[in-house]
Amino acid sequence: MKKAWDDSTMMRAARCQKTESVPVWLMRQAGRYMEEYRKIRERVSFLELCKTPELAAEVMITAVQRLGVDAGIIFSDILLILEPMGLELEFEPEGGPKIRNPIRKSSDVELLRELESIEPLEFVMNTVRYTREGLDDSLPLIGFAGAPFTLAAYAIEGNSSRNFRQVKAFMHVYPTEWQEMMTKFAVSTARYLNSQINAGVQLVQIFDSWIGCLSGEDYKKYVKPYSRMLIDLIVPGTPIIHFGPGNPVLLPDIRDAGGHVIGIDWRVSVNQAWEIIGANYAIQGNLDPAILLTNREIIRQSVQHLLRQVERRPGFIFNLGHGIMPQTPVENAIALVDAVHEFGVVR
Ligand code: CP3
């Protein structure tokens, strides 16, 4: 049966179809910038919150209603898949992730387990179900996962690295083990995303958050085949948003690796990105999240400026180029969403 969300602006834009207005949602729309979220986090740790589906759903539904955005995303994290694959994950009190047993030697790759069963991540599927039940039928729900490279970067570095020297050294020094590890991440992540789709999400986003640290050549050789493997394994019919920020030079290869919507950051303009990627792809992005630290006037001008570039082109999803910063005043995030709804009406 057709559902209200099938005809939503978000789903239509993801399929590059015309919409009457530009859809908007924000990466990290549920998070520490929001008082309701901080209240819940006084009682439970971040990992506990992710593993308590009723609470995770509540956090996202509250954020969606508070902001008035056009899509929800499940409240979860890209790193949760690492636990059932054999890595010990922690989040430090200030928020940063840490792997207690990172992959450092070539023999460590054998210890990394392919995710054979989704059972240990069943709590994520329950988050999907509860969030879907609580969201208005007109709003699609987005599922997500990390891309193989970004997962490998965490698995090897053990935390949010600045220069990624260990992951880069690993892929050059141990190409065979690298291939084995990236294949495990691609296959496991496809299984994970297909389960999220089965549980009720309408779109999926693949976060390749750290990809911008690579050269074009290294992306082609060491990463692209595995991102493509992952995307090719996703059951057809669900729009895929492929987000690879940081280095616009990579965009043609990111596009070729797959996905219907390409997520971009502010380092490239929307017009430049469309020129590079091609008009038959949808684009998601790309306001600098720092703009949300300014004021209502600057936010409104920035939204107007961005939407002028888009004009009436179908296939645009308004978002930030990266997640909302914790210092963002919530009224600024609301002002952004309101401005997109005001200026993004397609006549
Ligand atoms: O967008 C949403 O609101 C949905 C939830 C979501 C979270 N993480 C919740 C979260 C999503 C989509 C993610 C993805 C994610 N997680 C990425 C890719 C996007 C990006 O930011 O590049 C990455 C790299 C991670 C790994 C991760 N999780 C880091 C580096 C951190 C610490 C830094 C930070 O921003 O706090 C987290 C923790 C995290 N994930 C928080 C939230 C709300 C903050 C935890 C807290 O202290 O309450």
The pLDDT of residue 312: 86
Nearest CA to ligand 1 atom 47: 95
C-alpha of residue 284 to centroid of ligand 1, in Å: 18
C-alpha of residue 18 to centroid of ligand 1, in Å: 32
The pLDDT of residue 162: 85
CB 192 near ligand 1, within 6 Å: no
Tens digits of residue pLDDT in 128-144: 999 999 999 999 999 99
Q: Which of 28, 157, 161 to mutate to test the pocket of ligand 1 (most atoms within 8 A of CB)?
A: 28
Give every residue of the chain whose pLDDT is below 50, as ranges.
Answer: none
Fold topology of 4-343:
TIM Barrel (3.20.20)
C-alpha of residue 296 to centroid of ligand 1, in Å: 25
C-alpha of residue 5 to centroid of ligand 1, in Å: 26
Tens digits of residue pLDDT in 229-275: 999 999 999 999 999 999 999 999 999 999 999 999 999 999 999 99
For residue 90, what are its two tokens? 């922690």
| Residues with a known catalytic role | 28, 32, 41, 77, 154
CB 323 near ligand 1, within 6 Å: yes
CB 28 near ligand 1, within 6 Å: yes
The pLDDT of residue 49: 98
CB 124 near ligand 1, within 6 Å: no
The pLDDT of residue 267: 98
Question: H helices of the chain, where?
Answer: 9-14, 35-43, 46-50, 53-67, 108-111, 122-134, 148-157, 165-173, 175-199, 216-218, 224-233, 251-257, 270-277, 296-310, 330-343
The pLDDT of residue 281: 98
Report how far apart, in Å, the C-alpha atoms of 111 and of each of 25, 36, 151, 161, 184 are: 38, 40, 15, 22, 11
| Residue with the two structure tokens 């699609």 | 140
Length of the chain: 347
The pLDDT of residue 45: 95
CB 77 near ligand 1, within 6 Å: yes
The pLDDT of residue 161: 86
Q: With contact defined as beta carbons under 8 Å apart, do 187 and 229 qualify?
A: yes
Where do the domains of the chain lie? 4-343
